[in-house]
Structure 1
Amino acid sequence: MGRMVRGKVRRYSTEEGWGIIDSPDTPGGCVIQSPTVIDDPQLLTEGGSVEFQWQPLVNGKNDFRYYATSVSTVGSRPSFAGASWTIDPTVSPDDRMAAFWCEADDTDPLRMRIQMDQLLFIAAYSDARAVFERASLEDFLGDESAAVPLYEASLTGGLDTDRENQARIQLASSLRNVGRLHDALQVLQDFEFSNDYASARDAFAALIRWDLGEGSRALKTALQAAEPALGRYRRAIKAYAVELSDDERK
């Protein structure tokens, strides 16, 4: 966490819940996100002097490179309201990350990016894991173009088996959404997925094949994805799926 420095509030909106502090220590501006860093946002008035601590903001939007981790008016006690869940030493990094995703809100992307930076700063994950989490966030926020290279970097960096399964499925989905259909299908075909992810792989492959105009193959793949839940009808559906393949060859 950066040292306590002084600055002035450039702007702050209680309705939007965020603002900017100007300081020589944070050129270009430091993002304030409440209630993450201050108990009473009403104390933040434009032109007012504040003391704050900051961290670098990775992948920040609008060219902001810093975010405030605590803010107080000059002479008052710093507040960490709303951020304590990210620094509670009794909570494991994975539990913090799970809580983050449970509370994820795609209508507030700035807050989510700031909180992700806080989580990753504290967690000390491997580079591959950290990049995977950032990719997942950009994907969740609907910025698949940003997510794709991050997913690819995480796979190159070396993920554990479970997250490699997740990363490949999520990468394929993002590639599909940006129109790279053949690349998306290749990502799913070049890896032996664990049983827990086989149905998800087949479901996404079916969507991709449908987009490619391969209707019968898409349906067959979708039926494969549904197979674990078919119970006593598994044999019949499997036979019908074979018929779809025969029709395609005619």
Structure 2
Amino acid sequence: MPLYRWALDHGLAGYRRRRAVIQMSSSLRNIGQVETAVTVLEAERDIAPATLDEQTRALADAISATLALCLVDSGREREAVSVALAALAPHLPRYQRSMGNYARLLLDPADNPR
């Protein structure tokens, strides 16, 4: 943990930085610091994709997968499934729009027409 934090605090950038964020967050989760991991991962997801190179953007789903695990551990299961579905939807051969909508509705069930 200290080495991840040191590297991130001292200018690690790009692909290596994003990998360090994922790995550090996973370690935080494993030692019970789930809320810190969620905060770090949410901040990473908020970085505008256009500001990242292609290799770094390719790790977006890994960020989402790690975040989903952390959300489950923090008792936010609906949000975890939403994050996982939203990450999965673009890779489906069909039903991308439906799954994207379902992911959104998990967070705001008042919008669900059922």
- TM category, shorter: 0.7 to 0.9
1:175 aligns with 2:28: yes
- Shift of the 187–248 alpha-carbon distance from structure 1 to 2, 3 Å rule, reads farther
Partners in 2 of 1:149 and 1:158 — Cα distance?
15
Higher relative contact order (CA 8 A, sep 6+): 2
Partners in 2 of 1:190 and 1:242 — Cα distance?
19
Mark the structure with the bigger radius of gyration: 1
Q: 2:89·2:97 contact (CA, 8 Å) conserved in 1?
A: no
Q: 1:176·1:184 contact (CA, 8 Å) conserved in 2?
A: yes
Q: 1:220·1:244 contact (CA, 8 Å) conserved in 2?
A: yes
CA RMSD of aligned residues (A): 1.8
Q: Aligned residue for 1:144?
A: none
Q: Aligned residue for 1:155?
A: 8
Letter in 1 for 2:106: L
- Shift of the 161–248 alpha-carbon distance from structure 1 to 2, 3 Å rule, reads farther
Letter in 2 for 1:185: V
Q: Aligned residue for 2:105?
A: 243
Letter in 1 for 2:32: G
2:75 counterpart SS class: coil
Q: Aligned residue for 2:41?
A: 188
Q: Percent identity?
A: 38
Shift of 1:212: 0.8
Partners in 2 of 1:221 and 1:200 — Cα distance?
11
Partners in 2 of 1:211 and 1:189 — Cα distance?
15
Structure 1 alignment gaps of length 5 or more: 1-147
Q: Aligned residue for 1:232?
A: 94
Q: Aligned residue for 1:214?
A: 76
**Larger strand share, 1 or 2:** 1
Q: 2:68·2:79 contact (CA, 8 Å) conserved in 1?
A: yes
Q: 1:216·1:244 contact (CA, 8 Å) conserved in 2?
A: yes
Q: Aligned residue for 1:205?
A: 67
Q: Aligned residue for 2:53?
A: none
Partners in 2 of 1:228 and 1:205 — Cα distance?
18
Letter in 1 for 2:20: A
Partners in 2 of 1:197 and 1:222 — Cα distance?
14
Q: 1:206·1:217 contact (CA, 8 Å) conserved in 2?
A: yes
Shift of 1:248: 7.7
Q: 1:216·1:248 contact (CA, 8 Å) conserved in 2?
A: no
1:159 counterpart SS class: coil
Q: Aligned residue for 1:166?
A: 19
Q: 1:172·1:188 contact (CA, 8 Å) conserved in 2?
A: yes
